Amino acid sequence: MTEIIESNRLIEMVIDKHNRLLETFNSEFKEIESKLCVIKQQSDAIKKELETTETRITVLNEKYHLLFHQAKKQREDMFNNALEKMRAGKASNTQDITRLGSRIEEFERKLQDSKNIEDEERMIVEIKKLLYDFESGARKAGIIITSKGIVDKLNEANSSHKELISLQNKPKQDTVSAREYDAQRGETEGRFNWLKHRIESHNKALAYWEKQKGGIKLA
């Protein structure tokens, strides 16, 4: 009888130990689980933002070059059509318009390779002035034209280039942040997995000892 009682007390002490450890581990596990969930969300968000930014940079880089090219093509078509009409009408200022076109072409070539946004803006201002002179010269020859579409493309290209420059350092910053989150995630997941394993182990041990306790019968 005494031996059975002592065995029962020992098993209860073991069960109590496992319950106390489970309470402690479960409490920390819930905190770690919540922390890990937040870190995963933040890590995924920064990686998604990084991907979005890199895609945007690629699009903007292609966009502003394309817009400058489109503006140039539109300007060439407009000049060629106007000059054709001026030559047919024997306009006196045809050579002036030709010279304006040559000056604009110089700026257009520089714009395609532009890296400095301030220089780019100055060149666009000069092109706008020359386009205005072209419109005035065409009117003198009785030809009404507008370069608004060209100017709009130049402005849009410049805006795209500005946005591109503003984003250039962001991928590097996001990459650093992503690495920091990955480090936190790895450390937290390590503790999370350790706690998970310990909880499973103690639950199995607890189930075993509770079964043993249930198997002890007092005479």
pLDDT of residue 108: 92
Into how many domains does the chain fold? 1
d(C-alpha 189, C-alpha 159), whole Å? 44
Please report, as a single letter, which amino acid is at residue 21: L
How many CB atoms neighbour CB 78 within 10 A? 20
Please report, as a single letter, which amino acid is at residue 171: P
**What is the CATH classification number for the domain harbouring 146?**
1.20.58
Range 175-183 average pLDDT: 89
Range 207-212 average pLDDT: 88
Please report, as a single letter, which amino acid is at residue 177: S
Angle at 45 between CA 40 and CA 46, to 5 degrees: 105
pLDDT reading at 41 higher than 60 = yes
**Which residues, 6 or more positions from 169, have their beta carbon under 8 angstroms from its beta carbon?**
none
Give the pLDDT band of residue 219 (cuts 50, 70, 90).
very low
Per the structure, the complete domain to which residue 34 belongs is given by 2-215
- Span 77-121, pLDDT tens digits: 999 999 999 999 898 999 999 999 999 999 998 887 777 889 999
How many CB atoms neighbour CB 71 within 10 A? 24
What average pLDDT does the structure give for the chain? 90
d(C-alpha 141, C-alpha 85), whole Å? 9
